[in-house]
Amino acid sequence: MPKRKTIDLLGIGYCGWDTLCLVPCIPIDDKVQISRTLTQGGGPAATATVTAARLGLDGAFLGVVGDDTRSDAILQAFTDEGVCIDHIRRRSRAESAAAFCWIEEPTGKRSIAWTHGTAAQLGAEDVTPELVCSARALHLDGHQTQAAIHAAEIAQKNDIPVFLDAGTIVPGIGDVIALCTVVIASEAFAQTFTGLTDIEAAARHIRTLGPSWTGVTAGPAGSLGFDGQRVVHEGQYPVDVVDTTGAGDVYHGAFTARYVESIKAQQRPDLQACMRFATVVAGLKCRRLGGRTGIPNRTEVERHLQAK
């Protein structure tokens, strides 16, 4: 099995094209005039990989697109960020994934409707040991589940850390969790998956399923992490919020990036340091419209960390 690392982070999962509308309020059975629109690439693992790349890591993505105009835009958005697209499968006569986001202007809160599109999902055969073992870390979002499970099995056998953004409950997600090193869930996922309303109890329960570290992101309440001994809390990083779309995705990408940097420096990753770093990056992202627009570069992050 090849061991030479040519990729810092390999993302596997959902990649799509987002249409965002900034509105005075989110209408229900009503109409509202749009203040501003924006289109850009999106998806949990996809945006996490872009985040890591913007912070200085070498990233690659494995996912599917169709052969429509969305696919061209999705691939170009990755390329513009320096993320390798050589492993993305392009399906003929198929629509790419898409999301439509409404952002409430006064608060930055958002509602999202999304679709996988019609492109056939990845299978285990789409994942090679050579690709997985060329990466220092694997980042999953639960989508492309069969490919994710196979990739995580290869990674686990080769001591490659596996990260999961647990945001959507899909068939087989328990199998993915069991193969992961780090699982950070959204508050809604953690509560629904475990049946526990207390997020610390949920994080502790998820850890019994196999991961070394677990955590929960809770929006304005910040995040919680558990490494088997310590329970760590990080409050939300204060900024003037414009849009929270993608904040969780960015948090995951930054957390994974900080972890991988520790590995590259032959240092033991620290839960508190990873959470603090991720909190600042995700907070800074919320200052601009769009899941990716406001992702900061490394210089800006370091400046805010020093002032924190």
Cβ atoms of 261 and 38 within 8 Å: the answer is no
Integer Cα distance of 216 and 203 in angstroms: 7
3-class secondary structure, 181: coil
**Token couple for 219:** 């929006």
Query: What pLDDT does 1 receive?
Result: 52
Integer Cα distance of 1 and 8 in angstroms: 18
Query: What pLDDT does 4 receive?
Result: 74
Query: What pLDDT does 307 receive?
Result: 81
**Token couple for 221:** 């309440």
Query: What pLDDT does 78 receive?
Result: 98
Integer Cα distance of 21 and 111 in angstroms: 10
Cβ atoms of 163 and 180 within 8 Å: the answer is yes
- Within 10 angstroms of residue 39's Cβ, the number of other Cβ atoms is 14
Query: What pLDDT does 94 receive?
Result: 98
Integer Cα distance of 19 and 99 in angstroms: 6
Integer Cα distance of 105 and 289 in angstroms: 10
Cβ contacts of 198 within 8 Å, gap of 6 or more = none
Give the closest residue to 11 by CA, choosing from 182, 177, 139, 141.
139
**Token couple for 21:** 């509308």
Give the closest residue to 85 by CA, choosing from 72, 75, 96, 98.
75
Per residue of the chain (308 residues), give pLDDT as tens.
Answer: 556 789 999 999 999 999 999 999 999 999 999 999 999 999 999 999 999 999 999 999 999 999 999 999 999 999 999 999 999 999 999 999 999 999 999 998 889 999 999 999 999 999 999 999 999 999 999 999 999 999 999 999 999 999 999 999 999 999 999 999 999 999 999 999 999 999 999 999 999 999 999 999 999 999 999 999 999 999 999 999 999 999 999 999 999 999 999 999 999 999 999 999 999 999 999 999 999 999 999 999 999 998 86
Integer Cα distance of 58 and 91 in angstroms: 26
Cβ atoms of 28 and 79 within 8 Å: the answer is no
Integer Cα distance of 142 and 32 in angstroms: 34
Cβ atoms of 283 and 251 within 8 Å: the answer is no
Integer Cα distance of 5 and 155 in angstroms: 13
* 8-state DSSP, 228: S
pTM for the whole structure: 0.95
Terminal alpha carbon distance of the chain:
43
Query: What pLDDT does 150 receive?
Result: 98
Cβ atoms of 62 and 10 within 8 Å: the answer is yes
CATH of the structural domain 7-300, one choice from 3.40.50.10490, 3.40.50.300, 1.10.3720.10, 3.40.1190.20: 3.40.1190.20
